């Protein structure tokens, strides 16, 4: 009887130990399975590489580049440069140049007005000799003082009225290409007419008028400055409709 109880006790202890081992095995397997399942889930979802997003910053914070190189002028300077490049009509002729040509045109207009008045009033020109190589009266009363029946003084007056408008700072700053072309074409015509008058004074009349010579010199200067401006700073581009 005692041996039987002892045997049953041993069997009971053995069963409990066996159950404990099974439970430990099950718990460990479950934990390993969970870890495996988690690892599998992580591996199964590959990391998606997001494409680089372009952040649209404000214009003032944007870094402008010129040819791939950062523009050291800053965003504001780059914006102004781009605006100037996109404005084909904007002129780069400096202000001093505009005022110089405008002043010369006004001077030519003043002399032309005086010559026109003297022509129609038939009065002698002040400070001009009437004998020798310098003889204003001989020049202003010669047949060459008329072209197609129009007094040369009147033609000069009309020319310089147009020149004052074309040489004004407002005309120089105009974005209209036609204005700059008309200025250049008018000076080409004017210089051709002046060459004819100089030839007439020297080889036909045989005398020189100081006032006429001053008008010729002003026309030469305006012609040279206008051609220089076209070569140095160019003409505005043709505006697209």
Q: For residues 135 and 160, what is the distance between their CA atoms, to the nearest angstrom? A: 24
Task: List phi, psi (to 5°) of 188.
Answer: -65, -45
pTM for the model stands at 0.63
Domains belonging to the chain, first-starting first, are 95-233 (1.20.1440.130)
Beta strands (DSSP E) in 4-123 are 65-66, 69-70
Mean pLDDT by 10 residues, the chain (241 residues): 58 73 60 46 43 43 47 55 49 90 98 95 85 89 94 97 97 94 97 96 94 97 97 84 55
């Amino acid at each position: 009887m005692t041996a039987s109880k002892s045997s049953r006790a041993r069997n009971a202890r053995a069963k409990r130990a066996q159950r404990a081992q099974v439970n430990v095995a099950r718990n460990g397997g479950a934990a390993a399975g969970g870890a495996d399942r988690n690892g599998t889930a992580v591996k199964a979802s590959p990391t998606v590489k997001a494409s680089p997003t372009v952040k649209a910053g404000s214009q003032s914070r944007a870094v402008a580049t010129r040819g791939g190189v950062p523009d050291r002028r800053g965003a504001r300077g780059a914006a102004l440069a781009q605006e100037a490049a996109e404005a084909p009509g904007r002129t780069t002729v400096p202000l001093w140049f505009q005022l110089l040509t405008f002043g010369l045109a006004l001077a030519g207009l003043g002399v032309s007005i005086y010559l026109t008045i003297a022509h129609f009033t038939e009065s002698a020109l002040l400070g001009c000799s009437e004998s020798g190589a310098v003889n204003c009266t001989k020049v202003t009363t010669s047949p060459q003082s008329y072209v197609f029946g129009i007094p040369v003084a009147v033609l000069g007056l009309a020319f310089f009225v147009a020149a004052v408008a074309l040489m004004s700072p407002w005309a120089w700053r105009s974005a209209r290409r036609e204005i700059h072309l008309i200025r250049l074409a008018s000076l080409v015509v004017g210089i051709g007419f002046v060459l004819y008058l100089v030839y007439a004074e020297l080889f036909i009349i045989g005398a020189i008028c100081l006032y006429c010579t001053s008008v010729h010199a002003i026309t030469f200067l305006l012609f040279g400055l206008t051609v220089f401006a076209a070569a140095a700073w160019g003409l505005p581009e043709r505006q697209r409709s």
